[in-house]
Structure 1
Amino acid sequence: MTSSPNPAFDVKMLRTTVLEMAYAGSTVHIGCAFSIIELLAVLYRNYLRYPGNNPHASDRDYLVLSKGHGVMAQYACMRELGWLPDEAFTGYFSDGSNLTGLSDSRIPGLEVTSGSLGHGFSVGVGLAMGAKLSGTGQRTFALVGDGELNEGPIWEGALFAAHNKLKNFMVIVDENGFQAMGRTDEVLGLGSIQAKFESFGFETMTVDGHDERAIDEAIVQLSSSTSNAPKALVARTVKGKGVPFMEGDNIWHYTRLNSETYEKALAAVAGGVQ
């Protein structure tokens, strides 16, 4: 279990933080951050271990955000952990800000520099392999996008993970149905993601990626399995989840908030309008 000083990770609060960051920095990638909020909330609340609440702890678990453009959602969780000060959010993307729009390993708590899609998965596999060889019991969770599965290194890493029986490795797929330039199935059809990972030797489940209880139960079931196979959790999500005018509208991959849409989005999140 996490040693978070604030174990709630309330999804409304996390989405509000993302909106505050995006508006303060006049930046993009809101929709793809919103689709992974519940996934990150469950991981940080119940599974990621940071002894002493230290992101540098040598025996920590690893969270690899391979879809690095969703990093605002992870920043929001790191704020709850107390790893980032409030001024990092109000000054997001301003002169002197250390936080960027992609995952950057120079920030404590971010394990990889990602954004060039496909490689974070294999980095996570390497971390899991190292932990297995060292016998540390550390776990690695790699969060990838469904569009990212178009990249060949994903499947090279999957072969390696299955061959080496990395049961301490779990990939979580954010299946929101979109990538930057359109619907995932229209850009390059994936078919059944669960069937693909199963064919690569992963123990796999599919879950509603916005149902925190279902996510939690699925991770418990996969983690407690006696199989030595690596694990895959396919999370069916909605891009832009939590703000009705953003949901399922891929324009919010690259659209910036103005004062009107910012206030409207804040109101939707606060009211829990789905």
Structure 2
Amino acid sequence: MTNAHAYAAKLTLCGSISLYPVSLGAAMHLAGYRALGLPFTYVPFRVTDLGGAITGMRALGIRGLGVSMPYKQQILPLLDGIDPLAAKIGAVNTVVQEDGRLLGYNTDCVGAVRAIEEIAPVKGARALVLGAGGAGRAVAHGLADAGAEVVVTNRSLDKAEALAAEIGGRAAGVEEARNAGRYDVVVNATSVGMGEIAAESPVPEEAIPAGLLVMDIVYKPIETALVRAATRQGARVIHGGRMLLHQAARQFELYTGERAPLDAMDAALREQIAKLG
């Protein structure tokens, strides 16, 4: 057997499934594999038949798959086991194959917590989470699980109340954003600020005090209206790319068993985001 054939025989396949695959995850994972010299590769798959894709994952021995909307909830009954936190969130964005069993995880929540903890402790922090959709659920559960006191706002107050009840937090209307100064951490987990949707800040600039920790999960653009406003006010700012990076890093660890090389993955992410404009 040639060296090339030996390498191919040992190559481990990972990837992602989405209706509209993009290169952000692939770029980060591939950069991480190269940095550590791991015999892994990563392929983003466009999937319209979720059941067929999962059957294929089992049959082909694919080690791990990232899962994008609209499949994060649909995939749950197709798995053999679900991490307890992912089960509470009600969504899986990562599937790992272990000895023929498919196990589901949610690394979005881990990504949010890790991004914040780069700057300040989460335990005991008073956190305001804007949004109770899929991203808001992951962020709120992650923060609450890490010991934060969480208040959830949402345009539909009943959704905020339901999520708050799940995490032992409190719900409020969207006007609570005007009280940002009462909190240690404010996280925008809505699409407000995304270039194509609403190029505005969900928090009034005058409501942002210096020193407040502000995270926007929107990463396109990296400098959202909220990020710019918070920067002008002297707040501590986390852009959406950091959560994206850390959720991918946790996936990397689940797939490879190795510590993720953040610098290499971050450089690849920034390059791809720049290409997106």
In our comparison, the structure showing a higher alpha carbon Rg is 2
TM-score range, shorter chain: 0.3 to 0.5
Q: Which has the higher strand share?
A: 2
TM-score (norm 2): 0.38
